[in-house]
Amino acid sequence: MAGDPVSRERFKLMERKLYRGIMTPAMVLTVATGLWIWLGFGVGGAWLHAKLACVALLVAYHFWLGRLREAFARDENRHTHVFFRWVNEAPLVLLVAIVILVVVKPF
């Protein structure tokens, strides 16, 4: 990681706050409200199983990002900036699939 040590430590702190203070609580709240709607209102259908699979992949992606963040914190990053640009765009595919499944309900 390039840059001076002070900037690196500041970046590590910002990453930790983003992951633990914003991303993880948002994920928990989203999954909890989704379960509440699903179980409370009895929403069902085959499309829901596909949507839940996409959500499960996003949750796994979140924890994978946590492992990458921990590697950054230990200065053990093995990936280039191009890799992280692609990683940043990857969840868009799942999010678009979830929206299509919810709106269109194809099956």
pLDDT tens for each residue of 76-90:
999 999 999 999 999
Q: Which of 25, 58, 50 has its CA nearest to residue 101?
A: 50
Looking at residue 83, what is its pLDDT? 96
Neighbours of 27 (CB within 10 A): 15
Give domain limits for the chain. Answer: 5-104
* Range 20-36 average pLDDT: 95
Which string of DSSP letters, residue by residue, matches 8-44?
HHHHHHHHHHIIIIIIHHHHHHHHHHHHHHHHHHT--
Q: How many Å apart are CA 57 and CA 6, to the nearest integer? A: 35
Residue 105 pLDDT grade (very low, low, confident, very high; cuts 50, 70, 90): confident
Provide the phi-psi class of 80: left if phi over 0, else alpha when psi is between -120 and 50, else beta: beta
Give CA 105 to chain center in angstroms. Answer: 23
Say if residues 30 and 90 touch (Cβ distance below 8 Å).
no
